[in-house]
Amino acid sequence: MLDYKRSELGSTSCGRSIFHWGKQTYVMGVINVSPDSFSGDGLADVEEAVARAKRLVSEGANIIDVGGESTRPASTPLSPDEELRRVLPVVEKLARTISVPLSVDTYKLEVARQALNAGADMINDIWGLQKEPRLAELAAQKGVPIVLMSNQRGSSCHDIVSAVISDLKRAVKQALDAGVPRESIIIDPGIGFGKTQEQNLEILQRLEELKALGRPILLGSSRKSFIGWVLDLSPEQRSNKVTFIPPDDQRLEGTAATIAIGIAKGADIVRVHDVKEMARVCKMSDAIVRGM
């Protein structure tokens, strides 16, 4: 078991909050303002998105992550203007109405810039600076944390954990070189992004190896297709081909298992759709793993 009592990760300031790594697992609630979200929870109405965010905060979310572009396999990328049209009104309103920090889930420079100006407190980059290196400069300039995710889409590798660690090392160095303080960097192994179903499981099995990078780990396993694959809820995916099958509530227990094991393996923050249930999983897991 990892020694959380001697965590050397320190803390990260985000908006009006401070995340003290190692003391608890933090919960990131997901708000998708994209009608084709892989998780089946996409919203098109600003008021509905704001209402959901408020509910997630009441259920235990420590941070809200707002994204306008679907990240499901084979989805069509949005123009920056369209992404801003979806995201900006939600960020503007949430910044005025909720107390927890806001993260913007984007890899586009102008979307991130305008979202931060509108009140967002963190950048969540699913491409780990591969698509837009200037996001690191923006994070440094604005003094906000940045999540760097390892994304293997368009590539293949034999040893997935070594590939993820190497990619994250590259991204962390890039961010540091751009002036982002080390304490403002969070890493994400990128469950589901260009990995096979077996590789997703292997990342969870070996998640503690990412601790060598010395930064807090964000785990985004919620409702992902490998859960349906393991539980035989999506038999079509046994071929290991990436196929879009909207998840349903049958993935809740599988998600809970990945969260609990992820915490035992070193996860510091979990990005989830079902906040009430997963906040309880985090609290119980923390009591066991962190000795709280």
Calpha distance 2→55 (Å, rounded) = 33
Place of tokens 């950048």: 123
Catalytic residue among 211, 223, 265, 271: 271
- Residue 224's nearest CA partner among 206, 242, 202 is 242
* Residue 271 appears among annotated catalytic residues: yes
Say if residue 168 is exposed, middle or buried (CB neighbours under 10 Å; 0-12, 13-18, 19+).
Answer: buried
- Residue 124's nearest CA partner among 53, 44, 31 is 31
For residue 236 the two structure tokens come to 């079509």
Calpha distance 237→198 (Å, rounded) = 12
For residue 145 the two structure tokens come to 């944390």
Catalytic residue among 224, 251, 265, 290: 224
C-beta of residue 167 within 8 angstroms of C-beta of residue 128:
yes
* Residue 224 appears among annotated catalytic residues: yes
**Which residues are known catalytic residues?**
224, 271
